[in-house]
Amino acid sequence: MRIIVKFGGTSVSDSNRIKNIAKSIKEVKKDNDVVIVISALNGVTDSLIKIGENARTGHMDRVASELNNIRKRHIETIEKAISNLRIRKKVIEDSKANIDYLEKILGGISTLGEMTPRSRDQVLSFGERLSTPIVSGALNDLKLKAKHFTGGEAGIVTDDEFGEANPLMNVSKLKITKTLEPLLTKGIIPVISGFIASTQRGDTTTVGRGGSDYTATILGAALSADEVWICTDVDGILTADPKIVKDARTIPQISYPEALEMTVFGAKAMHPRALEPAMEYKIPVRVKNTFNMMSQGTLISQSQSIAKGEIVKSVAAIRNVSLINIGGAGMVGRPGIAAKIFDVLSRAGINILMISQSVSEANISMVVRKDHLEKAVNTLEISLLGKGVAYQVNAEDDVGVVAVIGAGMSGTPGVAARVFKAIADKGINVRMIAQGSSELDISFVVKEDDCEEAVRTIHKEFNLSKS
């Protein structure tokens, strides 16, 4: 098989875990062609965000302190992860050169007092620029042939939407194939930095937080991989958050649409955008546990597997959200009101997570992130109140969203009745409901204090702990 294996930040958080990755890849490489995608060491990207902001505001003493911590952490990791002195020396030299280059970029940001989206991407790219050579060196240390690349060097080309760049797949496929196929033919393991790519002009871009998953599926599509493995710190996609439901189990197989619903609703597995290339090019994705590689994990594929009697596959909860209700007689029968509401929120950079409207047209309810609530309410009041459109904008910031997900719900009568009866029996009140025509997901809003109990109740109602 040809497999793209992506390791997240928790998988490469220290030298022991990096050595564990190298040993696991050595076993996988015996029977397969392997390409590896690496995230930054755990927590490094967050540190780089802080460093960039300190540079912009001129706090170069804080920048120097944080850079010193990053330098020290990476060199200590290299010294413990790589035994061979020659390999270790080369990786340390690369690491120091990268940090020196980052220091120059930060100096420029400080001088200008400005961090553009382009320069921000440059700064954030260094997490993966520093981690990838370490993993490559650890593989070489085990006498495996490995060669590391940034995403751009590997051939991933994007547009210039810095911070959320979009891959140009046709160009990328040609470049990736030209760069990596000869290495795979020679038995060399390409080790690619996730998250970062480059424009056609060669400017560094990033594909958004969690983008290493995206890098892996882009490579999978370009190289016609048999599978993409997303290795994280869980055994796959679970029926519920194990912190809420102690007997939550791993789901063996789900379809792309089900996986999209689950990842959007916070399943700790992979980034939603990563499913785009996988779906388009029909590349199976397997979510596995870095620390339990023998486990089969969860296979995400084109086929829709519904076991006999299976209706619901997963129950998810989203916290840190708020509910906004907009009402008024002036909204009834007036075309374009919903469009106006969505437009003013979009212009303010506020994403709407969930929407519901009464058939009377007198009320629209929506869910937004809690940290966007104040801005959203202010924007709506300025745009709507006193203009004959809406007379009331109310908000609740003590709510949570519960999502019930599964292909088995489609065409099955009575699913919603079971869901809402089960939580009603627990005395939980529902504030808002939404369901798409695909019937893959029923979402509803409850008080935040009731969120966990609602998840446990539905998990039990549909017997999701049964293997």
The mean pLDDT of 420-425, rounded to a whole number, is 95
Please say if the pLDDT value at position 389 is more than 70: no
Q: What is the DSSP string of 73-112?
A: HHHHHHHHH---HHHHHHHHHHHHHHHHHHHHHHHHHHHH
Note every long-range contact of 423-428, with CB atoms under 8 Å and residues 24 or more positions apart, other chains counting: 423/454, 423/457, 423/458, 425/457, 426/453, 426/454, 426/457, 428/453, 428/454, 428/457
| pLDDT mean over 258-287 | 80
Residue-level pLDDT at 412: 81
| 288 vs 295: CA distance, rounded Å | 7
The neighbour count for residue 463, using CB atoms within 10 Å, is 12
Domain with CATH 3.40.1160.10 in the chain: 2-233
pLDDT band at 116 (very low <50, low <70, confident <90, very high): very high
Alpha carbons 219 and 385: distance in angstroms, whole number:
50
> Rounded to whole angstroms, how far apart are CA atoms 279 and 259?
11
Q: What is the DSSP letter of 292?
A: B
The predicted-structure confidence for 128-145, as pLDDT tens digits, reads as follows 999 999 999 999 999 999
Closest CA to 463 of 221, 298, 197, 240: 240
Model pTM score? 0.86
* Chain-centre distance for alpha carbon 137: 27
pLDDT higher than threshold 80 for residue 337: no
- The CB density around residue 466, as the number of other CB atoms within 10 Å, is 10
Right CATH number for 314-461 from 1.10.220.110, 3.40.30.10, 2.60.40.10, 3.30.2130.10? 3.30.2130.10
**Could you give the percent of the chain with pLDDT greater than 90?**
65
Q: Which residue has the higher pLDDT, 388 or 331?
A: 331
* Whether CATH 3.40.50.300 fits 2-233: no
- Collapsing DSSP states into helix, strand and coil, what is residue 341? helix
Q: Which of 4-18, 155-169, 299-313, 351-365 has the lowest mean pLDDT?
A: 299-313
What is the per-residue pLDDT across 224-237, written as a single tens digit (0 to 9) for each? 999 999 998 788 88
Residues of the chain with CATH 3.30.2130.10: 314-461
Q: Which residues of 258-282 are buried (b: 16+ CB within 10 A; e: fewer)?
A: bbbbbbbbebebbbbbbbbbbbebe
